[in-house]
Amino acid sequence: MLKADLVAAVAKIKWFHTIDLGQGVVTPGLDDSPAKLKTLGFPQDLRGKSVLDIGAWDGFFSFEAERRGASRVLATDSFCWSGSGWGTQDGFNLARRALDSKVQDLEIEVLDISPERVGKFDVVLFLGVLYHMRHPLLALEKIASVTQGQIILETHADLLTCEWPAMRFYPGTELNGDGSNWWGPNASAVETMLKEVGFQRVEQIYLRPFENIQQGRLVMHAWK
């Protein structure tokens, strides 16, 4: 794709992820995706691994997994591709063309994910999705069923000073004026839920509290 055509195409899309498309063109995403990547403990070498990116949106992390050598990457989404939010799949599709990527895509709800629908994967990415789930434990159960190796989970967190497994419920648009934000789990709750659905080892990789201390962003890794 010619640079002028790429620049024009990028300008027509509202981007969430910040993606380097080459030729000096970087998408104007609301999310500082390269900075977030540094907090995830993302494996440097994914050669021979299969990767499932749940809630892929514009696909930054899907394409990064491919860049790091993953043999198969499946990007899935529903809400951000055709749901009631402002996102669409246009960004993902354009980025895939610009990057000459072989990342596969499937529009599917999280709770519809199963081995029969998507297969099983060595690495599953579940980034920025858990707190949008009405039924978070059920969502993790579905994801565990397709994970044969490791899950990398990033989420909004709350009740960080509570030692017990706990989650805060956000009715209506209480959290950031967004009606799709339902839960704020603490680290103990995420760890306990992951173990409850079958992950044997869980590690906290990153925690950044916000100014109010109770809330923040959390990254957990878990292995079967």
Domain boundaries along the sequence of the chain: 43-223
How many Å apart are CA 192 and CA 195, to the nearest integer?
Answer: 5
> Could you tell me which CATH class the domain 43-223 is placed in?
alpha beta
pLDDT tens-digit series, residues 45-71: 999 999 999 999 999 999 999 999 999
- DSSP sequence for 2-50: -HHHHHHHHHTS--SS--EEETTEE---SS-HHHHHTTTT--S--TT-E
pLDDT tens-place string over residues 144-181: 999 999 999 999 999 999 999 999 999 999 988 888 99
* Distances from the Cα of 220 to the Cα of 39, 41, 81, angstroms: 10, 9, 25
Q: Is the dihedral of CA 134, 138, 140, 143 positive or negative?
A: negative
Instruction: Report the amino acid identity of residue 143.
Output: I
- For residues 33 and 59, the answer to whether their CB atoms sit within 8 Å is no
pLDDT at residue 104 greater than cutoff 80? yes
User: What pLDDT is recorded for position 187?
Assistant: 97
- Residue among 185, 218, 192, 216 at smallest CA distance from 204: 218
> What distance in Å separates the CA atoms of residue 89 and residue 107, rounded to the nearest whole number?
9
**CA atoms of 13 and 87, how far apart (whole Å):** 9
pLDDT tier for residue 1 given thresholds of 50, 70 and 90: confident
The model's pLDDT over 13-34, given as tens digits with 9 standing for 90+, comes to 999 999 999 999 999 999 999 9
**Alpha-carbon span 36 to 25, nearest angstrom:** 20
Q: How confident is the model at residue 42 (pLDDT cuts 50, 70, 90)?
A: very high
Tell me the whole-structure pTM to 2 decimals: 0.96
The predicted pLDDT at position 211 comes to 84
Residue 83: pLDDT over 80 = no
Residue 48: is it exposed, middle or buried by C-beta count within 10 angstroms (0-12/13-18/19+)?
A: exposed
**Burial class (CB within 10 angstroms; exposed 0-12, middle 13-18, buried 19+) of 130:** buried
User: pLDDT tens-digit profile of 167-220?
Assistant: 999 999 998 888 899 999 999 999 999 999 999 999 999 999 998 789 999 999
Phi, then psi, of 192 in degrees rounded to 5: -65, -40
Between CA 58 and CA 47 the distance in angstroms is: 23
Q: How many Å apart are CA 139 and CA 197, to the nearest integer?
A: 10
pLDDT at 134: 96
Q: Which residues contact 59 (CB under 8 A, 6 or more apart)?
A: 17, 19, 53, 75, 91, 92, 95, 96, 103
